[in-house]
Amino acid sequence: MREIPGRRRRLGFLGREERPAPHLDAALTCATEWRWPVLPGAGLIAADGRATHGHGCACPDPECAVPGAHPFDPGLLAASTDERMVRWWWTNRPTAPLVLATGGGAPCAVSLPAVAGARALAELDELGMRLGPVIATPTRWSLLVAPYTLEQLGELLYAKDWVPSSLRFHGEGGYLMLPPSEAVGGQVRWERAPLAGSARPWLPSVEAVVDALVEASTGAPDGGSRLAY
């Protein structure tokens, strides 16, 4: 399981039995080094009801739309950067998904379907677009961006003639799963990992990301329809 860069060097002197679990280590990096508020997600359960690698959500909703990939107990407002709280959460639930509370002073994100995300990133690289961390799940890719307000996002989208319908925006009051969580269908991973040793990951503006995605999609041979799913 991939570690978040920047932790291996500091933990290199620890014995195997002393190393923090991957989820706890990642949560501590986010909360204490990057000051990103996090909390444990609901998680998945197996068919026999055990909280482990499964396909059903641990929340009470039998028709949960995003199994395991959302806050439940505690709720989103409990997200914290407090080291003691983070340690307590993941000591009690070592494999709980790692959920980032987006917005405020924390990163926001723009996400799109996984296949479209891979193609869009290739085109953004050709455009010379500088990107921050990118998170990949089996179904969607998310580009982390600098914090923005709902008002800023509204003005940005209003000024556009067209925005791909598949884009989703994770801003204030939203959340996002971070590696090394497990989602239905597979692992959550870094497609573009934060640079090792960085005090806090650099993030592009939402304007730059949306502009580049729209340019990439409208310049595509099929007229950009490949982003509209």
Interatomic CA distance for residues 203 and 229, integer angstroms? 26
> CB neighbours of 134 closer than 8 A, spacing ≥ 6?
117, 121, 141, 142, 143, 144, 190, 191, 192
Asked whether residue 3 is domain-assigned, the answer is: no
Asked whether residue 201 is domain-assigned, the answer is: yes
Interatomic CA distance for residues 155 and 151, integer angstroms? 6
- Which domain covers residue 58, as residue numbers? 8-227
Helices (H) and strands (E) in the chain, counts: 6, 12
Please give the tally of structural domains in the chain. 1
Where in 98-167 does DSSP place strands (E)? 98-101, 108-113, 134-136, 140-145
Asked whether residue 207 is domain-assigned, the answer is: yes
Cβ-contact 214, 163 below 8 angstroms: yes
Asked whether residue 41 is domain-assigned, the answer is: yes
Interatomic CA distance for residues 152 and 143, integer angstroms? 17
The reported pTM is 0.82
Residue written as tokens 């508020």?
A: 37
Instruction: Give the chain's largest Cα–Cα span.
Output: 57
Render each residue's pLDDT in the chain as its tens digit; 229 residues: 333 443 433 333 334 445 558 999 999 999 999 999 999 999 888 655 454 455 688 888 988 888 888 999 899 999 999 999 999 999 999 999 999 999 999 999 999 999 888 888 998 898 898 999 999 998 999 999 999 998 999 999 899 888 888 889 999 999 999 999 988 888 999 999 998 766 789 999 999 998 888 777 665 544 444 444 3
Asked whether residue 110 is domain-assigned, the answer is: yes
